Structure 1
Amino acid sequence: MQVSSTDHLTIGEVTRRTGVPASALHFYERKGLIFTTRNGGNQRIYERHMLRRISLIIVAKRLGIPLADLAAAFATLPGDHAPTQEDWQRVSRTWKRQLQERRQILENLEHELTGCIGCGCLSMKACALLNPYDTLQEDGPGPVRLQDPPRRNPSRRATRR
């Protein structure tokens, strides 16, 4: 059976197809991540192309990508009709860059996990060597060596890396 891309799905069908509870679909709709129309009985109706958005939301959640980042990517896509392949390619290029940045942050965390992350605790020997006297506090609060992106105090010339 050939399925048209303009077919509409009920909320029950979308829940069954995606595994996402109706309450979550309502939440995603309120956040502007997905869109619905109403039928004559005032029931939510989803265009079939919303399945792709919902699937990407599921994947993004699994990867720890904030919904705000997803919303920013989806904001560039049409909501009233299926995005074109060019639309998806543009969004995926943006996401690829973001994922590469995340990967770098995770690699930095992995590398620095047993060393000094610049939090100011000075509880490890590496901290005493890499952050003597808690000098990294001048770069800002928290784990300054792992910030996204690293914050630097412009009045200091960083020579520690």
Structure 2
Amino acid sequence: MGMSEGAGEEMSVGQLARRSGTSVSALHFYERQRLISSRRTPGNQRRYHRDTLRRVALIRIAQRVGIPLVEIREALDRLPEGRVPNRRDWKRMSQGWQDELSERIRLLVHLRDSFANCVGCGCLSISHCALANPDDRLGAGGTGPRMLVPDTEEPLPESG
């Protein structure tokens, strides 16, 4: 007799996918990336502890705000014996990511405010670049859209 949806301490990959709203292939990927783990039955089927639901939720939330999987794994690896994150763990993890998220928000606001007038000197806005980037001075700083996605610590130019 199979395990029912709500019963037991373990879930099949299909049950975990349904409960977490995550595709089976994503769960397999998370497992390959050592973000979650399963045990194998004698028939070689994956079984996940029910607490894996919380880990998957944390992974999806962190991904949603742009935290790289490697950083998510590093944060989860700091938990004792791979235990499931609790409220204190989540607070500590999220505080560690706040500076990165604040910088990402700052860049996104700048991109939003500049997007209509400039592609960041690639250059599709010739009429504006004569003012913002005379003689392609931003080209000396590297390739790509220098004004919108800088890879330096220099402050972003004012949009306008």
TM-score (norm 1): 0.74
Match of 1:37 in 2: 39
What secondary structure does 1:83 align onto?
coil
Size of the aligned set, in residue pairs, is 151
- Residues 117 and 125 in structure 2, CA contact (< 8 A), matched pair in contact too: no
Paired letter, 1:22: V
SS in 2 for 1:9: strand
SS of residue matched to 1:88: helix
Could you list the per-position Cα deviations for residues 66-93 of structure 1 after superposition, in whole angstroms to 9, with x for gaps in the alignment? 4344334333334632234332221111
Q: Where in structure 2 are the equivalents of 1:1-161 lying within 5 Å?
A: 7-78=9-80, 80-121=82-123, 123-147=125-149, 149-150=151-152
Contact 2:13 2:46 (C-alpha < 8 Å) held by counterparts: yes
> What is the TM-score normalised by the length of structure 2?
0.74
Change (3 A) 1:143 1:76: farther
In the other structure, the counterpart of 2:3 is: none
Q: Which runs of 5+ in 2 are unaligned?
A: 1-5
Q: Deviations over 1:128-151 (max 9, x none)?
A: 101001000111111112225436
* Alpha-carbon displacement from aligned partner over 1:78-129 (angstroms, at most 9, x marks no partner): 4632234332221111233322222111101012213345424163322110
Is the deviation greater in 58-67 or in 106-115? 58-67
- Which amino acid is the alignment partner of residue 95 of structure 2? R
RMSD: 3.0
Q: 1:136 to 1:148 in 2, by over 3 A?
A: closer
Distance 1:108 1:35 in 2: 40
- Residues 9-45 of structure 1 deviation map (CA, whole Å, 9 limit, x = unaligned): 2223212211222222111100112111234443322
Segments of 5+ residues of structure 1 without an aligned counterpart are 153-157
